[in-house]
């Protein structure tokens, strides 16, 4: 399941002058030897990206950190030379029925005071797609309750199916 921010993301169409330029952005995988140094930033992004139903407890974050260290969850940043604009995590998952692997964008957090153009989002998706292909995945999957994020995904990848919904229904205890 992907956990996305619920606040709207500001997206520019690229026609307006912005600084920095799209070519100044990079999608960077956080290496294993950088995890401890980056953990505070990753954790803060998860506080903003995890849905309300997931407790933001030390136990939850300890489990996430353990998964990152075990390379189950891969952290990424979208950055320029001097600043970070977004933080995401991904997980390689398998569809048990087909045996196909897919790359699940587990969390995505865009810094609230930063703006990335559509060109930057598209370039990041292309790089993430190339990575997914290199590890044997057939697609990239993300889930969101945010309509703006869903429509942004469609603009990033016109072939994206944003009509299919995964509905999360908490279990009901019987009285």
Query: What does the pLDDT read at residue 154?
Result: 86
Digitized pLDDT (tens) for each residue of the chain, 175 residues in all: 444 433 334 444 444 444 588 888 999 999 999 999 999 999 999 888 887 778 899 999 999 999 999 999 999 999 998 899 999 999 999 999 999 999 999 888 888 888 888 889 889 999 999 999 999 999 999 877 777 778 888 888 888 887 777 777 778 888 7
Give the DSSP letter string of the chain.
Answer: --EE--SPPPEE-S-S--SS-GGG-EEEEPPGGGHHHHHHHHHHHHHHHS-TTS---HHHHHHHHHHHHTTSEEEEEEE-SS-EEEEEEEEEEE-TTT--EEEEEEEEEE-TT--EEHHHHHHHHHHHHHHHHHTTEEEEE---S-HHHHHHHHHH-TT---S------------
Range 3-12+24-156: architecture per CATH = 3-Layer(aba) Sandwich (3.40)
Query: What does the pLDDT read at residue 19?
Result: 58
Query: What does the pLDDT read at residue 4?
Result: 40
Domain boundaries, the chain: 3-12+24-156
């Amino acid at each position: 399941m992907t956990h996305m921010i619920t606040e709207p993301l500001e997206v520019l169409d690229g026609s307006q002058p912005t600084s920095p330029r799209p070519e100044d952005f990079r999608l960077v995988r956080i290496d294993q030897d950088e995890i401890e140094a980056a953990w505070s930033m990753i954790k803060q992004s998860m506080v903003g990206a995890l849905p309300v139903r997931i407790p933001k407890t030390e136990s939850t974050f300890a489990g996430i950190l353990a998964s990152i260290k075990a390379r189950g969850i891969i952290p990424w940043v979208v950055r320029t030379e001097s600043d970070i604009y977004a933080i995401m995590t991904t997980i390689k998952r398998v569809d048990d029925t087909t045996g196909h692997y897919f790359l699940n964008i587990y969390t995505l957090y865009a810094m609230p005071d930063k703006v990335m153009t559509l060109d930057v989002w598209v370039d990041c998706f292309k790089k993430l797609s190339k990575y997914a292909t290199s590890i044997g995945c057939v697609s990239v999957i993300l889930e969101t309750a945010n309509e703006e994020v869903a429509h942004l995904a469609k603009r990033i990848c016109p072939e994206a199916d944003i009509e299919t919904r995964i509905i999360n229904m908490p279990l009901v205890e019987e009285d």
